[in-house]
Structure 1
Amino acid sequence: MIATSPLLWRKAIALAGILGMLFAPTASTAGVVDGVQTAGALTIYLGVVPAATVRGHPSGHPEARMHGGGPASSHSMHIVAAIFNKTSGARITKANVTAHIVEPGGIQRSVRLQPMTVAGALTFGGYTTFARGIDYRIGIKVERPPHMPPSQSNQIPHSMHRIAPVTAHFTYTHD
């Protein structure tokens, strides 16, 4: 078991509170249902906010330029995922992250979530469009690069261990 400091826990609780405030739905029937999921060895926080939030930044602000700038549609949303190691609480910073979105009727699309740093914390985000009044299923797939176990760090590179992809499932309603 990995020891964690009280400061680390306070930071994690503060981040969870900030994510809750940032990603809280604006209407009682809208938003991500249960925006924290654990899958495999990961804990994933998912938020969906209007793209207009990003468009509201001044042009010189780094968030105004992320992912090539925000789309113009009134239904455009910014999907944000923060990913942590379930056991240690360490933030996952090296991963390929994809949001797989399924609409009623089986219509599917995928959005690559790009790494982005906001207020010094790395998360993954991307833009998509959601129609109002529809429940969507969003699968956040996290693929991490192979790694060398610490007990084998003095061995040759072919002993790298592949980490199986992990997907957490969320429900989102755009109101």
Structure 2
Amino acid sequence: MHGGAPRGAHEYHIIIAVFEAATGARIENAKVTATVSGLGHVGQNSLKLEPMAIAGTVTYGGFVTLPGSDRYDILVDIIGPGRPAPARVRFTYQH
């Protein structure tokens, strides 16, 4: 999965499931990226989330390093088929 799990104390796996708002149907052919930034860290870590099969469905995932005790902002961009612009969702994770 994603080239194998990285080794280290601060490696985390981001998983995103994408659904159509109007129907609730799972979207299995989107392009999904995540940009992770921490308040106490300079720069951002952007990664393409790869499609992966879980229980007969498709989700998107990737590994990210979250060093130190910090609050991280995770910005997820989702480009669905036939969509002119990405949907954007922001999460906060307190590590």
Task: Report the TM-score, using the length of structure 2 for normalisation.
Answer: 0.90
1:84 paired with 2:19, answer yes
Alignment coverage as a number of residue pairs: 94
Quick check: which one's helix share is greater? 1
Greater RCO structure (CA 8 Å; 6+ sep) = 2
Task: Report the TM-score, using the length of structure 1 for normalisation.
Answer: 0.51
1:169 paired with 2:90, answer yes
1:69 paired with 2:20, answer no
Q: CA deviation at 1:107?
A: 2.1
Task: Tell me which amino acid in the other structure corresponds to 1:82.
Answer: A
- Give the corresponding residue for 1:10: none
**Structure 2 residue runs without a partner (length 5+):** none
Task: Tell me which amino acid in the other structure corresponds to 1:73.
Answer: G
Quick check: which one's strand share is greater? 2
Q: Which runs of 4+ in 1 moved over 6 A?
A: none
Task: Tell me which amino acid in the other structure corresponds to 2:86.
Answer: P
Q: 1:142, 1:127 → 2: CA distance?
A: 17
CA pair 141-67 structure 1, distance change in 2 beyond 3 A: same
- Give the corresponding residue for 2:64: 128
Q: 1:133, 1:86 → 2: CA distance?
A: 35
Taking the TM superposition and a 5 Å limit, the aligned residue runs for 1:6-155 are: 66-104=1-39, 106-146=42-82
Q: 1:130, 1:86 → 2: CA distance?
A: 31
Output the aligned Cα RMSD. Answer: 1.3
